[in-house]
Amino acid sequence: MAAEKTQAIVIRTFPLQEFHKIITFYTPDFGKVKAVAYGVKSPKSRLSGSLELLNHGTLLFQHRENRELQNITDFNLIDGFDAIRSDFTRITYGCYFAELVDSIASEGLASPEIFNLLYTTYQSLAHATDIPLLARGFEIKFLDCAGYGPELSRCVHCGSAVTEAFPVEEDAPINRLSITFSVRYGGVLCDNCGNRDGAAFTIAPGSCELLKMLRKSESERFNRIRASTRNHKELKRLLGNFIEHHTERTLKSLRFIENVL
């Protein structure tokens, strides 16, 4: 057993009996850390109020290898993201990002990239003008960090380039009207391989280019990007199907966004 100190974001809370909670943190140094906060629901607890979902702070805990639940020693709040919390749409998306990290990121697998992505996305969420676009950017970056990122430039079956919207050859069509995407194969398919996956669907080249732009841009710059209704619809479908394929479940918060927002 070792005393450890790390930055952490609360990504899940679960009540345990009357006064306790099971908290799941995402940390840059230990990945997911699950711990019991004894007595946290009692007003006398010094941790009372600090272990709310999305809170970012410094976590001190007793690390026991191969134990599912760790013991929290202390949690010092750094940022409660109040600007997100005071807005229903923003907090709903914030909960979705936390649930997505919880659903894929393996326990014990440390990923500073995933921690930084979640942290910077929450900072951007506070003042994002197009919140669904921020969500699509988070999804593609998160899939990349988790090792499930889709291939967007070369056919996932034969390897040929497929996404040039304006081919240079003289006899080639002036503009590609659509690009075939396969969730099962994990990316785009060329015209010759398009029928390899019966469940593949098509997206506009512009949506594919937008996805590449979201993948490489910092989320704080997303406010400068404009997306059409079609782009939104296609990327939501593509990334939603992709995430469902890898998590093998429909995320509760995503369903809530679809039904309520």
| Residue 190 binds Zn ion (CB under 5 A) | yes
Q: How far is the CB of 246 from Zn ion (least distance, A)?
A: 23
Cα separation, 168 vs 191, in Å, equals 17
Nearest residue to 143 via CA among 120, 114, 108, 109: 114
Q: How far is the CB of 243 from Zn ion (least distance, A)?
A: 24
Cα separation, 231 vs 239, in Å, equals 12
Q: How far is the CB of 164 from Zn ion (least distance, A)?
A: 14
Buried (b) or exposed (e) across 100-115, using 16+ Cβ within 10 A? Answer: bbbbbbeeeebbeebb
Cα separation, 207 vs 187, in Å, equals 13
Binding-residue total with Zn ion (CB under 5 A): 5
Q: Of 192 and 228, which has the nearer Cβ to Zn ion?
A: 192
- The piece of 58-66, 121-129, 141-149, 183-191 that touches Zn ion (CB under 5 A) is 183-191
| Residue 161 binds Zn ion (CB under 5 A) | no
Q: Of 1 and 158, which has the nearer Cβ to Zn ion?
A: 158
Residue from 10, 53, 84, 155 binding Zn ion (CB under 5 A) = 155
| Residue 157 binds Zn ion (CB under 5 A) | yes
- The piece of 15-23, 175-183, 189-197, 226-234 that touches Zn ion (CB under 5 A) is 189-197
Per-residue CA distances from 56 to 69, 81, 235 (Å): 20, 8, 29
| Residue 118 binds Zn ion (CB under 5 A) | no
Q: Of 193 and 208, which has the nearer Cβ to Zn ion?
A: 193
Nearest residue to 198 via CA among 183, 186, 178: 183
Residue from 193, 204, 208, 257 binding Zn ion (CB under 5 A) = 193
Cα separation, 117 vs 235, in Å, equals 19
- Considering only residues 58 to 117 of the shown chain, the ones binding Zn ion according to CB under 5 A are none
Q: Of 124 and 180, which has the nearer Cβ to Zn ion?
A: 180
- The piece of 84-92, 118-126, 190-198, 242-250 that touches Zn ion (CB under 5 A) is 190-198
Count of positions (residues) in the chain: 261
| Residue 158 binds Zn ion (CB under 5 A) | yes
- The piece of 11-19, 25-33, 147-155, 223-231 that touches Zn ion (CB under 5 A) is 147-155
Q: Of 97 and 185, which has the nearer Cβ to Zn ion?
A: 185
Contact positions vs Zn ion (CB under 5 A):
155, 157-158, 190, 193
